[in-house]
Structure 1
Amino acid sequence: MSGITYVRGDATAPSVKGVKVIAHVCNDIGGWGRGFVLAVSRRWPEPEAAYRAWHRDRAENDFALGALQLVRVEPYVWVANMVGQRGIRTGSKGVPVRYEAIDTALGRLADRVIALDASVHLPRIGCGLAGGKWSRVEPLIEERLVARGIEVMVYDHGEGPS
């Protein structure tokens, strides 16, 4: 596989065969309710419930920027909650996206995806409500996933690149 495959459609409904991991970026404050997570929650309740419990019990677990949580939602489908944004609002410290956290989470994701022999499906992570630039995120995906031989599909759901 060379590079990322870009497709129009819904990242929560990948149509390829085999094990699939749907990856997305979450914030570090326990908020779930806007953006891509709404599409995830419409299909499966488990990723939101797991994320909220993970955040709630963060004193006893690894919940932090750069962390990864894999949640199985169907026999061949997993959702990857990746903590890659600080808060939810743009303010004095800039936009919420944290590229280094996304990079760390993608590295962790690669190990898990290889073990599952899965493909990765995602929207343009970090580039919606998190305020990131695809020109900064795409190379992280190329380096952490594609360079390790992982098939990656990026879904555009009606909007163009940012």
Structure 2
Amino acid sequence: MKIELIKGDATKPQVEGNKIITHICNDIGGWGKGFVLAISKRWKTPENEYRNWFKSDKNFNLGEIQMVQVEKDLWVCNMIGQHKTISNSNGIPPIRYEAVEKCLEKLSDESLRLNASIHMPRIGCGLAGGKWEEIETIIERTLLKNNLEVYVYDFN
């Protein structure tokens, strides 16, 4: 299996069957910049569930995921893979690759359980400051090794 690159909108998966749209969230309960805005424009539930999860403090940690069903055959996976929202004083960006890997391992289990393909923008490479080469390697180690269909969208 390999990552399928698609030009288009990751909030509008272009395949049949069950689908999971995944993206990276921060560990401080902030939702308001980047890809989350596109998600909130289409569905209110993922943001509401994320905010409720943060308030509940129940397992709201780096490396955790939250699955939110938004349509009959479509889920959004909120993955906590970013520490805070800005680089620290040493210039270390918010992305936490170890947390992303834990999230993608959990997502892999969910995808297998739901028999769902996985759809995403280039996660972790925008506001989180990550490098696609790192993320791609993590995707290969977690999702592709389980023969999951992975689609990465580059917005036109």
Please classify the TM superposition score into its range, dividing by the shorter chain length. over 0.9
Question: SS where residue 71 of structure 1 aligns?
Answer: strand
Q: Percent identity?
A: 51
Q: Does 1:92 align with 2:89?
A: yes
Question: SS where residue 83 of structure 1 aligns?
Answer: strand
Report what 1:103 is aligned to: 101
Equivalent AA in structure 2 for residue 78 of structure 1: W
Report what 2:55 is aligned to: 56
| Residues in 2 aligned to 1:143 and 1:3: alpha-carbon distance in whole angstroms | 11
Find runs of 4+ consecutive structure 1 residues off by over 4 angstroms: none
Report what 1:12 is aligned to: 11
Equivalent AA in structure 1 for residue 74 of structure 2: V
Question: SS where residue 20 of structure 1 aligns?
Answer: strand
Report what 1:71 is aligned to: 68
Equivalent AA in structure 2 for residue 89 of structure 1: I
Report what 1:139 is aligned to: 137
| Residues in 1 aligned to 2:144 and 2:118: alpha-carbon distance in whole angstroms | 10
Q: Does 1:116 align with 2:107?
A: no
| Residues in 2 aligned to 1:107 and 1:91: alpha-carbon distance in whole angstroms | 27
Offset of 1:140 from its aligned partner? Answer: 0.6
Q: Does 1:156 align with 2:150?
A: no
Residue segments in structure 2 that go unaligned for 5+ positions in a row: none
Offset of 1:143 from its aligned partner? Answer: 1.1
Equivalent AA in structure 1 for residue 82 of structure 2: Q
| Residues in 1 aligned to 2:36 and 2:48: alpha-carbon distance in whole angstroms | 12
Equivalent AA in structure 1 for residue 88 of structure 2: G
| Residues in 1 aligned to 2:96 and 2:145: alpha-carbon distance in whole angstroms | 22
Offset of 1:90 from its aligned partner? Answer: 1.3
Offset of 1:91 from its aligned partner? Answer: 2.2
Equivalent AA in structure 1 for residue 44 of structure 2: P
CA-based RMSD = 0.7
Equivalent AA in structure 1 for residue 137 of structure 2: P
Residue segments in structure 1 that go unaligned for 5+ positions in a row: none
Offset of 1:48 from its aligned partner? Answer: 0.1
Q: Does 1:24 align with 2:23?
A: yes
TM-score normalized by the length of structure 2: 0.98
